[in-house]
A and B are shown apart, each in its own frame.
Chain A
Amino acid sequence: MACKGANMEFFLQLLVNGLSVGLLYGLSALGFVMIFKSSSVLNFAHGELLTIGAFLFLVLVTWARLPIPFAFLITLIGCFTLGFIVERLFLRPLIGESLIYVIMLTVGLASMFKGLLLFVFGGNLHTYPDFLPEGLAIHFGAIYVPPVYVASSIIGIIFLLLFGLFFKYSPQGIYMRSVADNQTASLSLGVHVKKVFALSWAIAALVAGMSGIVLGIINGTNVHEISAIGLKVFPVVILGGLDSIGGAIIGGIIIGLLETFTGGYISPSLRDVIPYIVLVFILLVKPYGLFGLVEIERV
């Protein structure tokens, strides 16, 4: 009986861990979906955007010793600006070029950013000072949810709502979707397409920066580890459908649960590939992901 109880506890703890890791993945994927939704660009530099956010915060908090909320705000503004600049310098000349060039450009950018970050910070682990109040933690019987996970869940849900509303109802959100849909038609109606691209990169970088901070709080900041999360974003967004905000969160949760349960019950080494294996099978059954828009093609 005791054994069964322990089993149950183990299961629940895995469930909670999975959920919170999943929410984190979903949060990291949000920015990625933003860019894809407005400009159909698959951003391989997303992991590096996360890392830049995490390290900018690190610099502001530990080196410049700014107060936390202030540092948080400046990091977000910095990331926003960075996204804007990246779009302006690198992506804009490629408007209208074929897919593979854009993909490769982001791969090149990823490599550049990673190189720079490694150059400045090295491959070591850095940590933030502890600042989240312990009161945020949730104790549920023997199950313990650390404050970071609670905070990241709250942030994740808030942003999910914000973006959902933004895309569904705000004019800029609708223009972004229209540009993703048919660029020429948006131009003919006076949508400022370049502004839309710039804005979506800026917002994506902002969200990425914030997710980077949360990731940094949990595991500390390490260039290699955080940028690797950028690759985990792919199964997450594909599962959810590349263009669905809600899908990104749900995809994140599915991947998170999958990982922790495989790690807990089957083998820890299988943990990192299982998302990809599941991904292939899901794609075979549902080629546009679970919540992605089916491509409406008329010849």
Chain B
Amino acid sequence: MTNNILLQLNNISVVYSDVIQVLKGVSLAVKKNHIVSLLGSNGAGKTTTLKAISGLLKPENGKVTEGSIVYDGMSIQNSAPETITRQGIIQVLEGRQPFKYLTIEENLRVGTATRWTRPYKKDIEMVYSYFPALVTRRKALAGYCSGGELQMLVMGRALMAHPRLLLLDEPSLGLAPLVVKEIFRIIKRINKEQETTIILVEQNANMALQIAHYGYVMENGKIVMEGKAKDLKENPDVKEFYLGVGAGGMARSYRDVKSYRRRKRWL
């Protein structure tokens, strides 16, 4: 059974600049070929969790102080990002950070950094097959592309590395609903066709739970709830606080305001 698990976080704590504790004992497990979504409000520690996995805490003066991160049988907490990425963990940063002065195609080529001696032509074709919108812009500077194109670009860039575990940080941030739908469809496809395991951090809980297999809810640096995506979707608390559907339908009389009292009973 444990063979099935690709990544396991055991009770990790993360501290920034030796003083600010952001994660307070987070444990989660990610099965192979699953999409796991990580939900939570702003500042809950989702991005920090991803950075703890990918090793990007270091440039921000953060550290995993307790617990362990086990990836494919190896413990990788506090390793350098260069080593972690070479194990096949690639993070797509929040807020689309393209290389503005490189063209789309050059951006994609940066994705080959973990295996730069091998040919890349076929991979670029593969990325274009997922994101046909990029083909027409291949010679354009990334700095002049639209938000939707950039999101596709940064995801494609990550795919170039053939990740076994892809960490997606808010891919829907600031995009039009139609584009978001498209992006999520592609995420699902990548997961199926490339057999890539994906951890998906999202504010758009509805979308995320639709494509995910499993979900975790974070709050204040802790995991407060977990379950199969289907179950989470039906959970009254998740429904109310993350999906924006009032418990017991849309009608909200003054009496129902009492339900606020019940808010977040896990805290």
Q: Which A positions have Cβ atoms within 8 angstroms of B?
A: 96, 171-172, 174-175, 177-178, 180-193, 293, 296
Inter-chain contacts of A181 with B (CB < 8 A): 99-102
Q: Which residue of A lies closest to B105 (CB)?
A: A174
CB distance from A231 to the nearest CB of B (A): 27
Query: In the assembly, what is the distance between CA of A183 and CA of B161, in Å?
Result: 17
Task: Kindly list chain B residues whose C-beta atoms are within 8 Å of the C-beta of A184.
Answer: 56, 59, 93, 97
Question: What total of chain B residues lie within 8 Å of the partner, measured CB to CB?
Answer: 33
A181-B99, A181-B101, A184-B97 known; A189 and B111 CB under 8 Å? yes
B134 lies within 8 A of chain A by Cβ: no
B90 within 8 A of partner (CB): yes
Stretch at the interface among B10-18, B23-31, B79-87, B123-131: B79-87
B81, B97, B109: the one contacting A174 at CB < 8 Å is B109
- Contact flag A187-B97 (CB < 8 Å), given A174-B106, A175-B110, A177-B102: no
Evaluate contact between B158 and A189: CB separation under 8 angstroms. yes
Q: For the complex, is B196 an interface residue (Cβ under 8 Å from A)?
A: no
Q: List 30 A-B contacts (CB under 8 A).
A: A171-B109, A171-B112, A171-B113, A172-B116, A174-B110, A175-B110, A175-B116, A177-B99, A177-B102, A178-B106, A181-B99, A183-B59, A184-B59, A185-B93, A185-B99, A185-B154, A186-B99, A186-B110, A187-B56, A188-B85, A188-B90, A188-B91, A188-B92, A189-B90, A189-B110, A190-B114, A190-B161, A193-B82, A296-B143, A296-B144
- Give the distance in Å from the alpha carbon of A296 to the alpha carbon of B85 in the complex: 28
Q: How many inter-chain contacts with C-beta < 8 Å in the A-B complex?
A: 85
CA of A177 to CA of B114 in the docked complex: distance in angstroms?
16
* Beyond A177-B106, A187-B59, A192-B82, 6 extra complex contacts between A and B, CB < 8 Å: A172-B116, A177-B101, A185-B93, A185-B98, A185-B154, A188-B81
> Which positions 54-113 of chain B face chain A at CB distance < 8 Å?
54, 56, 59, 81-82, 85-86, 90-93, 97-102, 106-107, 109-113
CA distance A171 to B98 in the complex (A): 17
Q: Tell me if B46 counts as interface (CB < 8 A to partner A).
A: no
